[in-house]
């Protein structure tokens, strides 16, 4: 079955760019849609954005509140997709999850999550 694993720096300085990668195993990345979701400490889930499958030509859609700072991309050769969040502040400190988006409906499965702390 499909499994996801996030990777990237656990500490990012304010004003810099947060970069994370999600490695997909057990299935082709081209066949599904993919999303990034985050959860600030002790808070709820916040959707960051989505990248479509091959039939959507890899189109993207982002949370309006983050749209100006976010880029999600896919590397089909590595079966990975990535998140870049620019100009981070302490408010971007969160556990970041990658997830498969099935049929523009549910998210399943999710990665284990990775904590990113924004601090100098």
Q: How far is CA 100 from CA 12, 13, 37, 66, 91, in A?
A: 25, 29, 11, 20, 25
User: In terms of Cα–Cα distance, which of 22, 20, 21, 18 is closest to 100?
Assistant: 22
Structure tokens at 104: 């523009």
Return all residues near 78 (Cβ < 8 A) that are at least 6 apart: 23
Give the C-alpha separation, 17 to 34, whole Å: 21
Q: Which stretch binds other proteins (CB under 8 A): 20-28, 70-78, 81-89, 108-116?
A: 108-116
What is the total count of residues that contact other proteins (CB under 8 A)? 21
CB of 74 to other proteins, least distance (A): 18
Q: Given the complex with other proteins, which of 15 and 102 has the nearer CB atom? A: 102
Residues in 34-93 that interact with other proteins by CB under 8 A: 35, 44-47, 50, 61, 63-64
Q: Given the complex with other proteins, which of 35 and 82 has the nearer CB atom? A: 35
Find the binder of other proteins among 74, 82, 97, 118 (CB under 8 A).
97
Question: Which residues of the shown chain bind other proteins in the complex (CB under 8 A)?
Answer: 35, 44-47, 50, 61, 63-64, 97, 102, 104-113
């Amino acid at each position: 079955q499909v499994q996801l694993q996030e990777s990237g720096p656990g500490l990012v300085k304010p004003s810099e760019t947060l970069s994370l990668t999600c490695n997909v195993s057990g299935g082709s990345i081209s066949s599904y849609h993919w999303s990034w979701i985050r959860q600030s400490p002790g808070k709820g889930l916040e959707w960051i954005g989505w990248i479509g499958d091959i039939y959507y030509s890899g189109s993207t859609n982002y949370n309006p509140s983050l749209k100006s700072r976010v880029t999600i991309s896919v590397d089909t050769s590595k079966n990975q997709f990535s998140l870049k969040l620019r100009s981070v502040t302490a408010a971007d400190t969160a556990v970041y999850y990658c997830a498969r988006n099935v049929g523009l409906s549910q998210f399943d499965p999710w990665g284990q999550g990775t904590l990113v702390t924004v601090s100098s």
